[in-house]
Amino acid sequence: MAGKVLVADEDAGVQRLLQQLLRDEGYEVVVATDGLDAFRIWEREAPAVVIVDATLAGLNGHDLAERIRAAEAPGVRVPIIVLTLAGDVAEKVRALRAGADDYLVKPFHPAELLARLQSLTSRFSPGDALVGRSAMGRIHAYYGAKGGVGTTTIALNTGIALAKLGRRVCVVDANLQFGDHRVFMDLPMDRKGIADAVNAPTIDAELLRSLVQPHETGIDMLLAPRSPEAADLVTANHLYQVLTALAGVYDYVIVDIDKRLDDLNLMVLEISSQIFLVLTADLPSLKNARLVLETIGRLGYDQAKVRLVLNRANAHTGIGPKSAEKALRRPIDHQVTNDYRDAIAALNTGAPVMGDRADSALGKSIVQFAKVIDNLGSRMANRPQLGSGR
């Protein structure tokens, strides 16, 4: 028996379809026709997966997901898939906020539902068959207050530092039009990347293993599309599937995003357990950082989810860390030292600082930053991730 699935949908046709489909795959199926009944069945039957319609009567799918999350024991998380008629990002974000782990737009292909179901049960099952232990699965977004603040340098080198601490790390270049990870890490342009996942029938861990690029520094990399026009093929839904699948395999999925607060980047911020806002001590960067913090605040994020990273903290700009904190009206969480010469040398040679310059002032600063992040990640490892930052 593959496990028990609770199907909560008042449409008799959908019920019959899912019952037949899931039973053919070896699942035991229990059915609820309204939200309150579904919650009682969840309490009594302890299903392995919950599939719920967003517009369910009595207690809709989002409310049901919230109630289940509130009632779960510490360290326990049942995968929840929300079925919806709306395919926009706002509906997806609403489902994630409620505590869902995935969502499907009706009508959906049976093969897609089964693939999503198998991916979730694999990700939430005890242990990890591939590596022998379960992943922490922390998704971290790195977002620059403006161009040139060193976001990519910090994202890549922090990933390497975490790998040196024994963590499994994948760094994702989500600057889809003009990603620079190939340049920073001296990788050929013909290497596969995110765009190669778009036409696959299923985006899962097996597919992504064929697309990530292992690097000699110890990290795996998922690269941006090879050309700007190919970036248009990657939707927020594609990237969502990619990141959640990676989170089932890696301890840390580090996502380097560009400055636009569009649907795609808002989705990344939503599913990330931490957002690292990188800035420098100059007026344009501080102004942009203030605007970003205000925007994120309006979206309802917990302040603890956003962490400020002051890069080149000891540079002589006339604005020190204390002045920056006063301008931002909140403390700087992390400071990375100024070592511009080593940073530029690393960029121009395609050899990251944490490679052969790990003992430099910048390297040591990034190691310390990574240790703080890892200690934070270890404390949060047993908390639910997706949608937990609200």
The yes-or-no verdict on residue 124 having pLDDT over 80 is no
Residues 6 or more apart in contact with residue 313 via CB below 8 angstroms? 281, 321, 332, 335, 336, 337, 338
Domain of 104: which CATH number? Answer: 3.40.50.2300
Packing angle between helix 61-71 and helix 35-45, nearest 10 degrees? Answer: 30
The yes-or-no verdict on residue 220 having pLDDT over 90 is yes
Whether residues 151 and 245 fall in one domain = yes
Q: Which domain holds residue 230?
A: 138-380
Whether residues 71 and 143 fall in one domain = no
Q: Is 133 inside a domain boundary?
A: no
Q: Is 79 inside a domain boundary?
A: yes
Q: What local confidence, expressed as pLDDT, does residue 385 receive?
A: 38
Whether residues 37 and 177 fall in one domain = no
Last residue of a domain, one of 62, 92, 124: 124
Whether residues 262 and 354 fall in one domain = yes
pLDDT tens-place string over residues 340-370:
677 777 766 777 888 777 888 888 999 999 9
Instruction: Indicate the pLDDT class of residue 384, thresholds 50, 70 and 90.
Output: very low
Instruction: Indicate the pLDDT class of residue 136, thresholds 50, 70 and 90.
Output: confident
The yes-or-no verdict on residue 88 having pLDDT over 80 is no
pTM value surpassing 0.75: no
Whether residues 41 and 185 fall in one domain = no
Whether residues 196 and 282 fall in one domain = yes
Instruction: Indicate the pLDDT class of residue 275, thresholds 50, 70 and 90.
Output: very high
Do the beta carbons of residue 223 and residue 197 sit within 8 Å?
no
Q: Is 390 inside a domain boundary?
A: no
Do the beta carbons of residue 95 and residue 271 sit within 8 Å?
no
Whether residues 99 and 208 fall in one domain = no
CB-based burial, 151-165: b 16+ in 10 Å, e otherwise: bbbbbbbbbbbbbbe
Q: Cα torsion for 347, 349, 350, 354, to the nearest 10°? A: -70
Number of domains in the chain: 2
Q: How far apart are CA 110 and CA 121, in angstroms?
A: 17
Last residue of a domain, one of 67, 93, 124: 124
Whether residues 239 and 366 fall in one domain = yes
The yes-or-no verdict on residue 212 having pLDDT over 90 is yes
Q: Is 362 inside a domain boundary?
A: yes
Strands 220-222 vs 213-214: parallel, antiparallel or unpaired: antiparallel
Whether residues 346 and 369 fall in one domain = yes
Top mean-pLDDT range of 57-61, 300-304, 325-329: 325-329
Whether residues 356 and 244 fall in one domain = yes
Count of CB atoms situated within 10 Å of the CB of 174: 25
What is the C-alpha radius of gyration for the chain, rounded to an integer number of angstroms?
Answer: 22
Instruction: Tell me which residue of 275, 282, 382, 380 sits closest to 328, measured CA to CA.
Output: 282
- Residue whose entry in the numeric block shows the structure tokens 């690269």: 223
Domain of 298: which CATH number? Answer: 3.40.50.300
